[in-house]
Amino acid sequence: MSIENNPLVKPSPHKYGAVPFNEIKQEHFIPALEYAIKKAEKTLDEVKTNTDTATFENTALPMETCSELMETISLTYFNLMGAESDNDFKELAQQISPKLSAFSNNVHLDSQLFAKVKYLYENIENDNLNAEQKRLVSESYKGFTLNGALLNDTDKEKVRKIDEELSKLSPKFSQNTLNATNEYTYFTEDKSELSGIPEMVVSQAAETAQKKDKKSGWMFTLQMPSYIPVMQYADNRKLRETLSREFGKISFGGKFDNQDIIKKMVALRYEKAQILGFEDHADYTLQKRMAKTTETVMNFLSRLYDVYYPSAQKELDEMRELARKDGVEEMQAWDSAYYSQKLKKQKYDFDQEELRPYFKSENVIDGIFQVAGLMYGLKFKEINDVPVYHEEVQVFEVHEDNGDFLALFYIDLHPRETKNGGAWMTCWRPQGLYKGKVDRPLVSIVGNLTPSTEDKPSLLTFMEVNTIFHEFGHALHGMLSKVTYRSLASPDVYWDFVELPSQIMENWLGEKETLSLFAKHYETGEIIPDELIEKIKKSQSFNAGTMGLRQLSLGMLDMAWHTGDPSNVEDVVKFEDEAIEKTRLLPKVEGSTISCQLGHIFGGGYSAGYYSYKWAESLDADAFEYFKENGIFNKKIADSFRKNILEKGNTEPPMDMYVKFRGKEPDPDALLRRDKLI
């Protein structure tokens, strides 16, 4: 096949430039990527050899646009790798990641390119540039300096080697985690073991067993829609213990072990930070974060810890009391979710399973669309005339109220063995300049939520609906982006700001005005009764201390791995135990780790950034107070949030954008007020 006919290179024949999944094959990626890299390098050579004085037009603009094709190909690959791929496809990352890393380093370590960017940066006020162009130049300059442009040749070479190695380790970590998750199943033909487990989960377990060629019985997996309900509801303590121990062992030992990968990654990250003149990886990473310094992050986590820890202890004491009535003298990790559900039922006469019938997944999707309509005037229309990468994927055209096209929106909700765990939002094509014109984005949300069974549609838990609202918040950020240059487009903003648009959306789910729009019983069509809504509202801050402490422990573990010199760590478990000991409420489960499956920091972009969830929660709690004071569907405030935050991408510093929206800096105690802890 000639390169011009490669479906990853030639223009998409589909409307809105939709990805031609029906044509793309595994063997297309490497030739397409190599072609795209050569094309980009040719443009960069022209920039370097141009003897005219550096200007935005002859330097910043071609540097911004030269990698368009390369980015499209890599996004397509990595999005498919996460959502729909086998091990052969995943192995391609060991070729693709180093090529991308080498290209990035070839740019950032090139002294001629840096000289031109430096000239632009130092003369930024002399050129007739608009605010976004100035931001592009200053972010480009910062990118060069943070990636080694000021280093000598020997150190530049060291950075190249480190980046190449890191580029292989991260996808390998994710591949191992998925394989280890898929490897384990628990099969039983003893119905008594299923006591307490919700009927829908039991039906799924029966279908899973059939798919694995069992004539009868039930099979549970470590995928969330199977694992979590067992931990919350199974009366059989031994079953809970078995699954809990297996979950804790994901990628810890065995053929999919991640321990050496972690040790290599943290050592390499530290070494790179040192070469670049920073104390450690956290110090390096926080240069492009709202928090700015390790001290700020640690003070923030400590402030929350002082409130969450005593609150979590009290909550646990209440659970222990319930457990003792069942003859459990010492609560273990596999008891907490179970007794948490029991306590919630006792306190609020409320069981999450009561809500499932009202949360048919199709109705929930309709619900998020209605919310977006009321807030931003958006309209969603399902289409079937563009390709998808799996038959379960739905695609929607998104339009403004006036009919203008805004985005294509892909939704992929249910687990598969070919899909990574968790939930995420991504772009197949970000908004911004592409082939000379500003294009609208192709946005996707991917999840692992409760699938349908033979006799019931997909009925979601409240937490799963919350996940949809969260990821939809990210999706809106991507869809509503309104910038010129793709590298500044939403949601590519500072990492501790990126969760604000997602986490603020979760607030709408707890409100009657929202639930009344879509929470209808899947059989009767009855709108969710007020008494159930009241129970949801009353129980919203239930176990806020325990859940907050859990997030803090992950944030503290992340910072421990990335502050100081971790290169001498020999024992992953020992290091982890010491890092989170002060957050531990229950006895340590021997033979388990968190780190070996913590994809956010070893397989994703959250290294020295996991604190961002709580940081952004402080922002979203403060922002939602503003909505609550004026009406949650207040058009004027929604419009301000859209114009000042969602549309802006990284065209301004995050705090400036927030203050323009809110009129003041956020109140850090808003989160603790919402949790009813102060």
Residue spans of the domains in the chain: they are: 3-108+110-146, 184-248, 357-543+613-674
Domains 3-108+110-146 and 357-543+613-674 share a fold: no
pLDDT of 602? 97
Four-CA torsion 347, 519, 505, 444, nearest 10 degrees:
130
pLDDT of 468? 98
pLDDT of 374? 98
Q: Report the DSSP beta bridge partners of residue 88.
A: none
pLDDT of 649? 98
Amino acid, res. 198: P
pLDDT band at 126 (very low <50, low <70, confident <90, very high): confident
pLDDT band at 143 (very low <50, low <70, confident <90, very high): very high
- Written as six digits, the tokens of 500 are 């604000």
Neighbours of 36 (CB within 10 A): 25
pLDDT of 367? 98
- Written as six digits, the tokens of 125 are 């006020």
- pLDDT of 34-79, one tens digit each? 999 999 999 999 999 999 999 999 999 999 999 999 999 999 999 9
pLDDT band at 398 (very low <50, low <70, confident <90, very high): very high
Beta strand 405-412 pairing with 442-446: parallel
Average pLDDT rounded to a whole number, residues 124-131: 92
C-alpha 385/C-alpha 392 separation (Å) is 15
Residue 1 confidence (pLDDT) above 90: no
pLDDT of 127? 83
CB environment 360-389: b (16+ within 10 A), e (fewer): bbebbbebbbebbebbbebbbeeeeebbbb
pTM for the whole structure: 0.95
- CATH code for the domain defined by 357-543+613-674: 1.10.1370.40
pLDDT of 290? 95
- Indicate the helix (H) or strand (E) that contains 218: strand 218-221
- pLDDT of 406-432, one tens digit each? 999 999 999 999 999 999 999 999 999
Q: What is the 3-state secondary structure (H, E, C) of 514-561?
A: HHHHHCECCCCCCECCHHHHHHHHHCCCCCHHHHHHHHHHHHHHHHHH
pLDDT of 546? 97
Assigned CATH topology for domain 3-108+110-146: Glutathione S-transferase Yfyf (Class Pi); Chain A, domain 2 (1.20.1050)
- pLDDT of 622-644, one tens digit each? 999 999 999 999 999 999 999 99
Q: Is 411 helix (H, G, I), strand (E, B) or coil?
A: strand
- pLDDT of 494-509, one tens digit each? 999 999 999 999 999 9
CA terminus-to-terminus distance, the chain: 65
Average pLDDT rounded to a whole number, residues 529-549: 95
Beta strand 437-439 pairing with 432-434: antiparallel
Residue 306 CB contacts under 8 Å (≥ 6 apart), including other chains:
none
Q: Is 219 helix (H, G, I), strand (E, B) or coil?
A: strand
Do the beta carbons of residue 599 and residue 251 sit within 8 Å? Answer: no
Instruction: Annotate 388-453 with DSSP letters as a single string.
Output: -SSTT-EEEEEE-TTS-EEEEEEEE-S--TTS-SS-EEEEEE-SEEETTEEE--EEEEE--PPPP-
pLDDT of 668? 87
Closest CA to 75 of 426, 437, 422: 426
Q: Is 627 helix (H, G, I), strand (E, B) or coil?
A: helix
pLDDT of 623? 97
pLDDT band at 581 (very low <50, low <70, confident <90, very high): very high
Q: What is the CA radius of gyration of the chain?
A: 25
Q: What residues are annotated to the active site?
A: 471
- Indicate the helix (H) or strand (E) that contains 187: strand 185-188
Residue 377 confidence (pLDDT) above 90: yes
